[in-house]
Amino acid sequence: MKWLDHLRTINRHKREVMRLCFKAGLYKQGLLHDMSKYSPVEFLVGAKYYQGNRSPNDAERKDKGYSSAWLHHKGRNKHHLEYWIDYSAGEGHEMTGMKMPVKYVVEMFCDRVAACKVYLGDAYNDASAYDYYMKSKSHYIIHPSTAALLERLLRMLRDKGEDETLSFIRTKLKGRK
């Protein structure tokens, strides 16, 4: 039953993000993270394209040429860098990444770590989220300061571990704009 496996994956991911957010001091975000995944437009597509080892959005995208679930999800969840893409105020009005508030960058960090843990299982290590980000970052449209903070946190996780990184977030970053 793919729908049940998909639900279990969502719940496992959500619990891990909640645990990480709580350790970082982001209680409300931990509780409310990814609630849109339970909406029919996201859940039904996720169940149909469920594979267990990667996002079902990739499979939908391969099948249809786009992912309706992802388009819905990124437009409702501020912890995704894609939520913050807009036209620049400059003369060319090109698409650009807007600066994300710190609390959403931290939630994005927690989301990426949790996704790596869920999809990699026993193969996960503290460098996994950094390595994944580095493979993908060339195509991101992200504000430079947002990228710098996310990379700093991912490097810290890789080099110093989860406890020290979450302690740093809780004591040094929480409450900063």
Question: pLDDT (tens digit, 9 = 90+) per residue, 146-166?
Answer: 999 999 999 999 999 999 999
Indicate whether 112 pLDDT > 90. Answer: yes
CB 55 within 8 A of CB 62: no
Question: pLDDT (tens digit, 9 = 90+) per residue, 127-139?
Answer: 999 999 999 999 9
Nearest-CA neighbor of 136 among 125, 147, 149? 147
Q: Please name the residue ranges forming H helices in 25-88.
A: 27-32, 40-48, 56-64, 68-74
Give the pLDDT of residue 176: 59
Indicate whether 174 pLDDT > 70. Answer: no
What pTM does this model have? 0.94
Question: pLDDT (tens digit, 9 = 90+) per residue, 60-102?
Answer: 999 999 999 999 999 999 999 999 999 998 888 899 999 999 9
Give the pLDDT of residue 90: 82
For range 164-169, the mean pLDDT: 97
Average pLDDT, the chain: 95
Indicate whether 142 pLDDT > 70. Answer: yes
CB atoms within 10 A of CB 172: 9
The larger pLDDT score, comparing residue 106 to residue 177, is at 106
Q: Report how far Cα 58 is from the mean position of its chain's Cα atoms.
A: 15
